[in-house]
Amino acid sequence: MTGLIDHELHETPLVERHRALGAKLIEFGGWLMPLQYSGILDEHRAVRERAGLFDLSHMGELFVEGPEAGRALAAALVTDPRALAVGRAHYSMLGAPDGGILDDLIVYRLAEERFLVVANAANSRIVSDALAERLAGSRAVLDDRSLAMALIAVQGRRSVSILGPLTDVDLAGLKYYAIAEGKVAGIPALVARTGYTGEDGFEIFVESGRSDELWAALIESGQGQGMLPCGLGARDTLRLEAGMPLYGNELDPGTNPFEAGLGRVVKLDKGLDFVGRAALEKVAREGPAKRLVGLIVRERGIARSGYAVSNGDRQTGHVTSGTQSPTLGVPIAMAYVAPEDAEPGTILAVEIRGQKVAAEVVPLPFYRRPRES
């Protein structure tokens, strides 16, 4: 993130709103962010059953444009943004030469040669610096607007009825992983049908100076519909139930996309070299050294990040994320284990407070939202 000093703590433009709502604020990714308001369980259930409102202004927004923007991004990332239709998006990653993951991203194609890359807060500067280096020499320009933009998300089955009255964007026609330019509450915005909760919903990009107006309008529209402001705590339990990886937990420079079960994201056939290609081709040929799996703990105990996972007397891996699932009512976790221990139905053990507790390997995700009838 341009100008971000490692020890500097940024505040979102909505921080006074969060304080007024009684939010518990914590440092996250170099930002002061709301962990929770009314409580993680209440907020989690609001999103699953009705709707939740999230301040995501800590995320990085990087615009890439120019006659060679698509090709330059294809050489910088593991995906091929040139394959996107205008107005569509895909999940992507910034890879290291050894195939490790420097960050996971969403790439939106806003115009023929104009793209928006959304990076994780803690990695925004890493992504910005890497893209600047990898785009050098191409006819593509990087504009890092991470500190100039705000991002607010409405997530949950009532998100359409809450956002709809405020916007001129055709929400019914906006597909999942699509983006449109329009106005929300009279404010120029980019509206994307994306999210990190496993529910339907929208992420709204606006200039940071207009974010307070947008938040107030969404709060008012959500009154009477059971929408709650939600913090990072509920966002984490929601994404874990939905089997979505979190950078720093499931993804890091020591992990490659195939190990994370995301090999489908890597486009080895895109017809040009990209950073990490040789290493990823080798993994695709030989298979991953570990595999990310879902676990349901079948005895008492919560599997937390870092806990050892074993098969008999042999340690096979470790937990990356774990919680008591508010929706399913059972302890769930994601873990990396040896490939031979990754088959669904395999019974492993998680070491919890010195005791080996049985856990069953299950397919991800743990939760899928019900389809509309």
Q: What is the pLDDT of residues 37-83, one digit of tens each?
A: 999 999 999 999 999 999 999 999 999 999 999 999 999 999 999 99
Same domain for 336 and 303, yes or no, is: yes
CATH of the domain at 119: 3.30.70.1400
Residue 24 pLDDT: 98
Domain annotation covers residue 333 = yes
Per DSSP, the residues of 114-147 read EEEEEE-GGGHHHHHHHHHHHHTTSS-EEEE-TT
Domain annotation covers residue 276 = no
Q: Amino acid identity, residue 341?
A: D
pTM of this structure: 0.96
Same domain for 319 and 343, yes or no, is: yes
Domain annotation covers residue 105 = yes
Residue 5 pLDDT: 36
Domain span holding position 314? 290-362
Residue 371 pLDDT: 76
Q: Return the residue matching tokens 């998100």.
A: 159
From the list 149, 156, 227, the residue with the least C-alpha distance to 187 is 149
User: What is the β-pairing status of strands 10-11 and 31-36?
Assistant: parallel
Residue-wise pLDDT for 264-315, tens only, equals 999 999 999 999 999 999 999 999 999 999 999 999 999 999 999 999 999 9
pLDDT by residue, tens only, the chain of 373 residues: 333 334 579 999 999 999 999 999 999 999 999 999 999 999 999 999 999 999 999 999 999 999 999 999 999 999 999 999 999 999 999 999 999 999 999 999 999 999 999 999 999 999 999 999 999 999 999 999 999 999 999 999 999 999 999 999 999 999 999 999 999 999 999 999 999 999 999 999 999 999 999 999 999 999 999 999 999 999 999 999 999 999 999 999 999 999 999 999 999 999 999 999 999 999 999 999 999 999 999 999 999 999 999 999 999 999 999 999 999 999 999 999 999 999 999 999 999 999 999 999 999 999 999 876 4
CA distance 103 to 105: 6
Domain annotation covers residue 126 = yes
Same domain for 53 and 177, yes or no, is: yes
CATH of the domain at 319: 2.40.30.110
CB atoms inside a 10 Å sphere around CB 161: 14
The residue among 110, 126, 144 that closes a domain is: 144
Q: Amino acid identity, residue 132?
A: A
Same domain for 127 and 30, yes or no, is: no
Per the structure, the count of domains in the chain is 3
